[in-house]
Amino acid sequence: MNVIISASELAGELAGGDPPVLLDVRWQLSTPAATGRPPFDGRAAYLSGHLPGAVFVDLDRELAAPSAGRGRHPLPDPEEFGAAMRRAGVSAGRPVVVYDGGLGWGAARAWWLLRWTGHPDVRVLDGGLSSWDGPLETSVPQPDEGDFAPVPAAAGLLDADGAAALARSGLLLDARTGERYRGEVEPIDRVGGHIPGAVSAPTTENVGPDGRLLPAGELSARFRALGASADTPVGVYCGSGVSAAHEVLALAVAGVPAALYVGSWSEWSSDPERPVAVGPDPR
């Protein structure tokens, strides 16, 4: 099954008799800034113009639970997540397309959660809103209640111990920037560096200048060069399980299944008992 959809393909489906549910997941990482700029407001961006019929989904409130020491974006309660998706009109038998402002991280988090909890047909708009040249609307739709009931999968999810083990026995990819991986800068978390054994693989290198994912062949070559193979289990982490979801999406396009460590560096680094590696060498 395809995991991404182009803007032209989406326009065709929206014009058909059975259009997909559209979820707008605009989100940006907000860090303390000396300028005092307010944090990004995804809902305000949505209200200023969104794809026709799209429903806004709040990543921080509906695609994550309160932190409580489990990383900045721990998994949401399944019942609360299911209720949020049903309010948005999500049903098990109807396709879903998710998009964001163009970076792809917020949309990928929604894609991963829906797929991991059992929805059979979820795709990400490749390139996000910036790839769309059709009309936008500002009215807020009131969709019919959906019937989606999430059933979390047994596989596809890593905890801290599982990530540590995978870094030794398989391939654990760090989707953050190289500077954060090496520990040269750390704007958010307690310490800089990476999980020992993890390989640097910034998710920003999975997209082209237009914000769209690279072709499947190029992504496959990239991940092979990083150590992915048919018999190597792969996992991904980032700062808080958002940009890493986008790397899981890119791996899926390349035909490589991968698990997600949702707690990611924000959880790992908060525990002083966990080892930290710095520099360009994985270990």
Catalytically active residues are 238
C-alpha distances out from residue 170 to 154, 223, 261, Å: 19, 13, 14
Tokens of residue 82, six digits: 């299911």
Tokens of residue 264, six digits: 């990611």
Closest to 87 in 3D by CA, of 58, 116, 60, 121? 58
Cα 236 from Cα 264, distance rounded (Å): 8
| DSSP string for 126-161 | TTGGGG--S--B-S---PPP--------SSSEE-HH
Cα 169 from Cα 175, distance rounded (Å): 19
Helices (H), the chain: 7-14, 42-47, 59-62, 78-87, 105-116, 160-169, 178-182, 216-225, 243-253, 264-268
Q: State which amino acid sits at residue 115.
A: R
Cα 251 from Cα 175, distance rounded (Å): 12
Strands 157-158 and 21-24: unpaired
Cα 246 from Cα 103, distance rounded (Å): 9
73 within 8 A of 241, measured Cβ to Cβ: yes
